Structure 1
Amino acid sequence: MFKKNKSLGLVLSVISPVTLADQKPVETVVVTAHRVEKQHQEYSESLSMIAGQGLQLIEHNHIQQTLARIPGANVARGNGQEYLPALRSPVLSGAGACGSVLTMEDGIPLRANGFCNINELFESHSEMARRVEVIRGPAGTLYGSNAMHGVVNILSPKIGENTESLTGTLSFEAGPEDYYRANISAETAISVKEGVRTDLSLVSGGGNRDQSGYDQQKFSFLHSVTMGETQVRTRLAATNLNQETAGYIDGKNAYRNQTFARKNPNPEAFRDATAIRLYSILDVDLGRGKQLVLTPYLRKTDMRFLQHYLPGQALEENGQESVGLRSSYLFTDENSLEVVMGLDTEFTQGYLRETQKNPTGGSEFLRETIPEGKHYDYRVDAYSIAPFTLATWNINNILKLYGGVRFESVRYDYNNKMLSGRTAENGTACGFGGCRFSRPEDREDNFHNWSPKLGATYELTSDLQLFVNMTRGYRVPQATELYRLQREQVAAELDSEQISSVELGVRGLKARLSYEVVAYGMHKRNVIFRDTEYFNQSNGKTSHRGVELALGYGFAQDWRVETSSSYAEHRYRDTRELQDVLLDGNLVDSAPRAFGSYRLQWQPRQEITAELEWLLQGRYYTDPQNQHEYSGHNLLNLRARWEFDRWALSARVLNLANKAYAERADYSSFVGDRYFPGEPRSIYLSVSSEW
């Protein structure tokens, strides 16, 4: 259906480990780029992929370990399966953070529009992924709200061809602190054109800090059938997480004391979460360069967790039920014009309850303003509809132009199930002027956004390509930002966040060398933040400028080096003041200028691969005033894999030098410096078999 340009078929250094024994260019396709399968070089934005042997070698225990190989990605791992995202951005936390990076599985958002969870990638079955694709930078034209800093798409396994009998894989892994994991996959053909596959992942870990273990189960079932020119893939995916959560440790450089770093100041904290998704992908080849893809889906999530980080430690319960349809239609005009257009629509019913079981401790002010009982109880019905189109004009064999636009309309219908205002649950007034929380009256909110895009690719030579892209992304306010108010605030007058981006890049592929270099500049406005009065505001501005490098070089028959590195500056660009300090021009906190992954790979034989990885985390400020900082760290990881017959053995030594470091450093005006300590040296061994 599409022209295939072999000159830039693999394109990627951004694709992790290529088989070292075969350095010839390999063609590859991507799914997320244009909502239909296309060659990577037919994409004018920054796209990274990790697949195949790369995922097998990483064998991640946490999605952060895979995303560390993506230029511009600087995910901060929390306790258990928690994390804070960063993609061409600071590490995102607090008001306005959740939903700034769109997370998907097979092109379907993991969470409903307006109901994000900062940790939502733990709901994907990433342990069994066949590929992880990351769009770096705004992608609102094709993907809408939340794709403001980029997109992470987990692609699930497909059913293999010519599966005549029941086949599968079984793997078992063990690690420190009573860590055990089992992965089981099986597939079989029902007929020549029909098959089924099932995947199961079971994980149990004791955690390297006191009372910080977790258990997680993930299951997926896939049915695939081809009927004439139509292929239908129907998938059921379910996850369950039961986690004992560890909080920050306090004190300047507290993470350096390995005994103290194992402490858990919040042994009572926990997170329980379940998620179920059912969807079908109908791919219809209409002939003559026309293709129709329809993806109806259902999803349901429920979560309970203790807000151990807040006075009173209230229990939050939230959930959502969604039904939606994502569609795209592609047609070509004599190979000079390609147009993809579609309509995405979704309906969601979401709820949130916050209940405090015990009286608040601490000062009289806290005891009076945060009473026990129910704080919030509301339901929100959300509706969204978004038509879009993207055209590709093939000027000639070396120049392509891209242009597109998306319009998205989102409506929230909010229903408060409690007394409105800032009273206790029974209507009793709080001391010191009123309760800390405030519940607005029933209301309706509407948001309308446009996301245009212009881009171009130009082939300087058969193995060297330039690309440029200008686009705008957006993020509608999330339900919790609109309706979980504080103090005397009666309504959140928030606008959609918007980000404008320009990027220029060059990518190339030679016999043993592949690379991509990208420079970008972004300006974000209507940034949502919580001010000194604990109000959610949306008049913030930030700027983001950076350079990213992905490079792979086979310098000898058995040896190869790879790098995914970034240098960026993220700054405040408004007149906000915090504790009498003007923030304009300051570096955004939790935003290191430099970070990256650097890898040396050795493959003496086709079936043996070893890798030494160096992870660099540059220093960064831990407060907006730029008065406190974390000095950064360097880590070494060693991985090896040996495949023989139908078996495979692998070993991973993470934090090889046993470095004391912080996964995340922060500064609080209440307690000072605080940290999520990193894990000490950890050795994981696994064995797997095909049958």
Structure 2
Amino acid sequence: MDSIQDWTLRPLVCAVLAAISSPVYANEVTRLEEVVVTATREETPLNQAPISIGKVNEQQIDQLRPTFIGQVLDQIPGVHMTNLGNEQHNMSIRQPMSYSAVYQYLEDGIPIRPVGIFNHNALYEINLAGNNGIEVVRGPASSLYGSNAVGGAVNFTTAAPSSNPYFSTSIQASDQGYRRVDLAASDSWGDTGLRIAGYYADRGASWQDYNEMDKVSLTARLDHWLSDSALWKTTLTYSKLNTDMPGTLNETDFNTRPGFSYQTFTYRDVEALRASTGIEGQFNRGGFTSATVYYRNNSTNQLPSYLIFNLGPDSAAGRTTENSFTSLGLSAFHRQQWGNFKLLVGGLLEESPNDQGETALLIKRDPKTGKYLSYKTGAVRRDYHVDLSNQALYADASYQFDHGLGLSAGLRYDGVKYDYTNYLKPSLITGAPSQTQTFASSSPKINLTWQASPELFMYGGYSQGFTPPDISTLYSSAVVPDLKSATFDQFEFGTRWQPNQDLNLNAAVYRLNGQDELVNYSIEPGKSFPRNAGKTLHEGVELGANWQATTAWSVRLAGQYARHSYVQYQPSPLENYAGKDIPAAPNWQGTLEIAYQPIQGARIALETAYLGPYWMDSPNTVQYEGYTLFNLRGEYQYKAWTLWAQVLNLANSHYAEIASSSYKGQGLHNGNTQDSYSVGAPRTFVFGMSYAFDGKGAAK
């Protein structure tokens, strides 16, 4: 698998792989200690978190001016978010670039979707303008956050209201048709504060055919202090996205006309509402209590490009899908401390009725161009309802010994129940008979920490996670698969070293064993089926550094070396992939940013993003070479005004965000019928301007 490019870049990438901590402005005198809440469900100094966790704070988000959340998450070592266009995506955290339900996405510690209704695109339901940071727990976090938190848990923290009147607005546009307006307002009155923030974005004509979109997103947070140590917090987030789906290209079209699309009518419409209200604080000596009631209302209607399959030169089949759910849940925990001993006990109750349907389509195709021209609606092939319930109990205990040693252990029990009702007559086409299925698991963890010195912190331990088959996996295939929950056992060791205020280094080593892991097995482009893979192995090294070299120059590095392989996987008598690398799993991935501040208020940064070669197919015969991208960002802040410009993909590289192949290693390989490429955007210029008022006329 090693190519000349891989070996040439490997020493450089190895040197720059890194984690991030907050970049430091030249005019800053002191630095506040960074804290995280996701590691233990309450504020913990980042440098003392007992697990692998990375954070991106509000300052970093402002510097990036992202139009895609992956531009932010890729700053964390071991994290790569694939851009599938118009905020659509998949994720890679201690896993290949995956569409599988191995991640937990949260907002203020509450999952944004129920277990069992995973969507690899779920982060388009997040309003980044309403958040002031993102925290990523890498590896199984199931003892605190439940099933699916296997590859990792990604927690978005909403921004609290300001103590003084605050208002900001910004506009930005690109030469590729993207336009966006952001607004935020905040104030407090006595013990009560309110913050409202949101944005509207759309994309018109661009480099890619059939790729328009529009999105509106809004977050409101109301805080009321019941006392000096007790907060009543209420949040509401609403997002609505409508986007075309240009789909992928075959090998020839990817290389010769990357802006082409076969699609003319595919779409995705998403509407998501989340609301929560809860009380948290210290109600007894040595204790901390949190209880939150939450509600979700979500619908996704689509005619997706990935469900269109060619039947011949002038015809194809497709489907529309509809998915809607509501949720009502309660999440609560209490932490009590007695001297050096802490005990946290919590639980979750949730009910999420879900309706799903599919309708068959007969599609007319132009045999010359390959474009899909029109369609006729056929029979309803799925129409069912699932009453989904989830109950969980968990406990986490820790003790701090002498000489900087600490020990923590946790255990969580999750029970998931699917009560499935098929409104159609059961068949191979319309689905299985009505039935009830349950999945339950207990997830343990144990960690040892050592504060070796004020500058050096070490941690290590074992954790286990599990992920049950989700509803669409069970009930949207031709027949109900004989699937069971996948389980994952992880051993990891990590260290954080901060010899001075200007340098922060960290590293983590992990080995993650998967049992009965769900893997999508592709029999041809666009057609795949879930299988319990038997056994898989995920292992790697995540390294990091953040260095303020001088008052003007700083360097931030983030990345990893990893290998994801099949240990036992034989999908048919003729196919055995044991010992092979899992597709879409590059060994090397990382980002490097060098920033320069020539004068106060000005910043210029050059970022390099590297993704190494990877196999496109399970037999490891078709390879994608990966890519190296350069992004240039600059901004100037004067009083309340900020001007910025970006050049993304500075070298105008031709690349694929992700590439796959259905080739089985037998017979001739045909890239035009077996390979598919999701094309990356060409060089893009972005310009923006913002104004921020904090009651004194100063910038934020």
Q: TM-score higher than 0.5 here?
A: yes
Number of matched pairs? 645
- Identify which of 296, 301, 305 aligns with 2:302: 305
Structure-2 residue corresponding to 1:520: 510
Q: CA offsets per residue over residues 196-245 of structure 1, 9 Å max, x none?
A: 11112100112431110100000122211001242111011100001011
Query: Residue 324 of structure 1 aligns to which amino acid in structure 2?
Result: G
Further displaced range: 547-556 or 499-508: 547-556
Match of 2:689 among 682, 687, 690: 687
Question: Is this contact kept in 2: 1:255–1:660, CA < 8 A?
Answer: no
Between 536-545 and 29-38, report the one with greater CA deviation: 536-545
Residues 243, 579 of structure 1: CA spacing in aligned structure 2 closer, same or farther, 3 A cutoff? farther
Judging changes above 3 Å, is the alpha-carbon distance between structure 1 residues 577 and 407 closer, same or farther for their aligned structure 2 residues? closer
Instruction: Identify the residue that residue 467 of structure 2 maps to in structure 1.
Output: 475
Match in the other structure for 2:106: 104
Cα gap change, 1:23/1:400 in structure 2, threshold over 3 Å: closer, same or farther? Answer: farther
- Are the structure 2 counterparts of residues 417 and 577 from structure 1 closer, same or farther at C-alpha, using a change threshold of 3 Å? closer
SS of the residue 1:91 aligns to: coil
1:314-337 CA deviation, whole Å, 9 max, x = no partner? 100001100011111011002x10
Report the Cα offset of residue 537 of structure 1: 3.1
1:552-563 superposed matches below 5 A:
552-563=546-557
1:53 to 2:47 alignment: no
Distance across 2 between alignment mates of 1:539 and 1:662: 27
Tell me if structure 2 keeps the 8 A contact 1:542–1:573: yes
Per-residue CA shift, 1:251-293, capped at 9, x if unaligned? 15x4343xx1111111211100000011013112124210101
**CA distance, structure 2, for counterparts of residue 507 and residue 329 of structure 1:** 29
> 2:456 maps to what in 1?
464
| Other-structure match for 2:191 | 193
Q: 1: CA distance between counterparts of 2:488 and 2:212?
A: 38
Residue 79 of structure 1 and its aligned partner are, at CA, apart by 2.2
Partners of 1:438 and 1:227 in 2: CA distance: 54
Which of 493, 514, 518 does residue 482 from structure 2 map onto? 493
User: Quick one: distance in 1 between partners of 2:569 and 2:611?
Assistant: 30
Q: Deviations over 1:611-669 (max 9, x none)?
A: 11000110000001101010111110011122111111111110111111111111134
* Per-residue deviation, 1:46: 0.6
CA shift for structure 1 position 360: 8.3
Task: Kindly indicate whether residue 459 of structure 2 is the aligned counterpart of residue 507 of structure 1.
Answer: no
Match of 2:118 in 1: 116
Instruction: Assess, with a 3 A threshold, how the Cα gap between structure 1 residues 327 and 666 changes in structure 2: closer, same or farther.
Output: same
The residue number in structure 1 matching 2:275 is 278
> Does the CA contact (< 8 Å) of 2:104 and 2:149 recur in 1?
yes
Query: Distance between the aligned counterparts of 1:42 and 1:458, measured in 2?
Result: 9
Q: How far apart, CA to CA, are the structure 2 residues paired with 1:530 and 1:614?
A: 31
- What is the letter of the counterpart of residue 201 of structure 2? V
Q: How does 1:645-656 map to 2 (within 5 A)?
A: 645-656=639-650
Q: Compute the displacement of 1:362 (Å).
A: 12
Residue correspondence of structure 1 range 475-624 to structure 2 within 5 A: 475-486=467-478, 489=479, 491-511=480-500, 512-530=502-520, 536-577=530-571, 580-624=574-618
Could you tell me how far apart the structure 1 residues matched to 2:364 and 2:518 are? 28
Q: Tell me the equivalent position of 2:141.
A: 139
Return the letter of the residue paired with 1:155.
Answer: T
Name the aligned partner's letter for residue 516 of structure 1: N
What are the Cα deviations for residues 349-385 of structure 1, in whole angstroms up to 9, with x where unaligned?
Answer: 011100124368899xxxxxx9931010001001111
Q: Indicate which of 24, 28, 33 corresponds to 2:34.
A: 28
Contact between 2:246 and 2:305, CA under 8 Å: does it hold in 1?
Answer: no
The residue that corresponds to 1:419 in the other structure is: 425
Counterpart for residue 319 of structure 1:
324
The amino acid that maps onto 2:605 is E
Q: Does the CA contact (< 8 Å) of 2:19 and 2:543 recur in 1?
A: no
Secondary structure at the aligned position of 1:314 is classed as: strand
Alpha-carbon distance, 1:23 to partner: 7.2
Give distance in 1, aligned partners of 2:123 and 2:619: 31
Task: Identify which range, 566-575 or 22-31, moves more after superposition.
Answer: 22-31
Q: Output aligned runs, 1:207-226, within 5 Å.
A: 207-226=206-225
Determine the C-alpha separation between the residues in 2 that align with 1:144 and 1:305. Answer: 29
Q: What is the aligned partner in structure 1 of residue 7 from structure 2?
A: none
**Does the C-alpha gap of structure 1 residues 513 and 378 become closer, same or farther in structure 2, counting only changes over 3 Å?**
same
Q: Is the 8 A contact 1:317 1:352 kept in 2?
A: yes
Change (3 A) 1:394 1:653: same
1:266-415 matches, within 5 Å, as 266-310=263-307, 311=309, 312-334=317-339, 336-358=340-362, 372-415=378-421
Measured in 2, the distance between the counterparts of 1:406 and 1:211 equals: 46
The answer for unaligned runs of 5 or more in structure 1 is 1-11, 364-369, 423-436
Residue equivalent to 2:668: none
Query: Match for residue 433 of structure 1?
Result: none
Shift in Å, 1:85? 1.1
Q: Residues 580 and 43 (structure 1 numbering): CA distance in 2 closer, same or farther, change over 3 Å?
A: same
Change beyond 3 A, Cα 1:690–1:575 = closer
Are the aligned partners of 1:212 and 1:267 in contact in 2 as well (CA < 8 Å)? no
| 1:674 to 1:537, Cα distance in 2 relative to 1, 3 A | closer
> Does the CA contact (< 8 Å) of 1:100 and 1:475 recur in 2?
yes
Pair 1:443-2:430 in alignment: no
Change (3 A) 1:570 1:13: closer
Q: Which amino acid in the other structure matches residue 295 of structure 1? A: T
Q: Which amino acid in 2 is paired with 1:615?
A: A
Instruction: Tell me if 1:41 matches 2:47.
Output: yes
Q: CA deviation at 1:175?
A: 0.8
| Residue 510 (structure 1) shift | 2.2
Match of 1:73 among 54, 79, 82: 79
Residue 5 (structure 2) aligns with: none
Note the C-alpha offset of 1:21. Answer: 4.0
Determine if contact 2:271/2:300 at 8 Å carries over to the other structure.
Answer: yes
Conserved 8 A contact 1:20-1:560? no
Contact 1:360/1:371, CA 8 A, preserved across alignment: no
**Structure 1 residue 24: deviation in Å?**
5.2
How many angstroms apart in 2 are the aligned matches of 1:517 and 1:60?
A: 26
Instruction: Find the counterpart in structure 1 of residue 200 from structure 2.
Output: 202
**For 1:75, what is the secondary structure of its paired residue?**
strand
Q: Which deviates further from its counterpart, 136-145 or 635-644? A: 635-644
Which residue of structure 2 lines up, in the alignment, with residue 179 of structure 1?
178
Q: Does 1:84 align with 2:90?
A: yes
Q: Where do 5+ consecutive residues of structure 2 fail to align?
A: 1-17, 310-316, 368-375, 664-671, 694-700
* Residue 535 of structure 1, CA deviation: 5.8
Deviation of the 1:16 alpha carbon: 4.0
For residues 497 and 13 of structure 1, what CA distance do their matches in structure 2 show?
29
Q: 1:203·1:216 contact (CA, 8 Å) conserved in 2?
A: yes
Report the AA paired with residue 492 of structure 1.
P
Query: Percent identical across equivalent pairs?
Result: 26
RMSD: 2.0
TM-score by length of 1: 0.90
